[in-house]
Amino acid sequence: MSRIAATFARLKAEHRLALIAYLTVGYPRADVTPSLVEAAAQSGADTIELGIPFSDPLADGRTIQAASQLALKGGMTVKRALEAAAAARKKTNVPLLFMTYLNPILAFGLEGFCRAASAAGVDGLIVPDLPPTESAELRRAADASQVDLVFFVAPTSSEAGIEAACRAATGFVYCIAVTGVTGARAHLDEAVLPLIASVRRHTTLPVVVGFGISRPEHLAALEGKADGVIVASALLDAIGKAPDDPATQVSRFLRELRPLPAR
């Protein structure tokens, strides 16, 4: 069983929502990602999503775009992101996923990228601009390296589109909570609950909600309905408030978002 599957199985048995923390690799500094992964894992993150910076991140809002640009200016590359993931893996056993766009993977080479990601200890891959209907080649490469491939569905997705994403996905299905790009929001879109129900009709994989998750009440609203949530822009915003001490910011934000249970 993969780390991702094992984590969701454990959390399901514990009746807990998975908390997935998104970090841009190389933000706010090139050398800091492994320590931020460790801080997130120690502060309640059940899984970590590592965004590989890209110059044209179409699905990302202002916060992630700014973090990506800063990381790129700091010299972050796909190769260095792989090295950062390998260093992070030494600090934690929680599942790690890469989020990146198709062009960097193609430039690296599909099979080579998947092999390198697996060797670095990465468990899954999220590619926002890859439609399920065009994913066969990457899916073969990912399967060969035992890397899960996650696909998106949105409130605007057709039933056929949802079915295609569910059929192509491994690991989990990523439900976009809002229409548009990433970014922290005050309220969740009411369409997310019917979307979760639609996904459940087509797959037994865990259903994870992202885009706009930023408050404890968002987690409360999805408890018992989704299997996990991804917090991204709000966490990067917190890091940006004190870039000289990002690990403390990560810990503080995640503990306030979902306090750790008393021991």
Provide the CATH number for the domain around residue 57.
3.20.20.70
Which pLDDT value is given to residue 181? 42
Q: Is residue 147 part of a domain?
A: yes
Which pLDDT value is given to residue 183? 39
Q: Is residue 110 part of a domain?
A: yes
Which pLDDT value is given to residue 211? 87
Give me the catalytic one of 38, 46, 49, 237.
Answer: 49
Look up 56 and say whether it is catalytic.
Answer: no
Residue 140 has pLDDT above 90, yes or no: yes
Which pLDDT value is given to residue 180? 46
Segment 221-254, tens digit of pLDDT: 999 999 999 999 999 999 999 999 999 999 999 9
Which pLDDT value is given to residue 132? 96
Which pLDDT value is given to residue 182? 44
Q: Is residue 80 part of a domain?
A: yes
Segment 12-67, tens digit of pLDDT: 999 999 999 999 999 999 999 999 999 999 999 999 999 999 887 666 678 889 99
Mean pLDDT on 167-184: 77
Overall domain count for the chain: 1
Q: Is residue 260 part of a domain?
A: no
Task: List the end-to-end C-alpha distance of the chain, in Å, as a whole number.
Answer: 28
Q: Is the alpha carbon torsion for 180, 182, 186, 192 positive or negative?
A: positive
* DSSP letters for the chain: --HHHHHHHHHHHTT--EEEEEEETT-S-TT-HHHHHHHHHHTT-SEEEEEPP-S--TT--HHHHHHHHHHHHTT--HHHHHHHHHHHHTT--S-EEEE--HHHHHHH-HHHHHHHHHHTT--EEE-TT--GGG-HHHHHHHHHTT-EEEEEE-TT--HHHHHHHHHH--S-EEEESSSSS----SS--TTHHHHHHHHHTT--S-EEEESS--SHHHHHHHTTT-SEEEE-HHHHHHHHH-TTSHHHHHHHHHHHHSPPPP-
Segment 94-123, tens digit of pLDDT: 999 999 999 999 999 999 999 999 999 999
Distance of CA 218 to the CA centre of its chain: 17
Give me the catalytic one of 38, 46, 60, 163.
Answer: 60
Band (pLDDT 50/70/90 cuts) for residue 184 is very low
Q: Which has the higher per-residue pLDDT, 181 or 168? A: 168
Distance of CA 141 to the CA centre of its chain: 20
Look up 60 and say whether it is catalytic.
Answer: yes
Q: Is residue 262 part of a domain?
A: no
Segment 186-218, tens digit of pLDDT: 457 678 899 999 999 999 999 999 988 989 999
* pTM, rounded to two decimals: 0.93
Which pLDDT value is given to residue 189? 63
CB burial of residue 96 (10 Å; 0-12, 13-18, 19+)? buried
Q: Is residue 141 part of a domain?
A: yes
Band (pLDDT 50/70/90 cuts) for residue 133 is very high
Q: Is residue 172 part of a domain?
A: yes
Q: Is residue 33 part of a domain?
A: yes
Q: Which domain holds residue 70?
A: 3-255
Of residues 122, 157, 125, 119, the one with CA closest to residue 139: 125
Cβ contact 133:155 at 8 Å: no
CB neighbours of 28 closer than 8 A, spacing ≥ 6? 67, 70, 239, 240, 243, 246
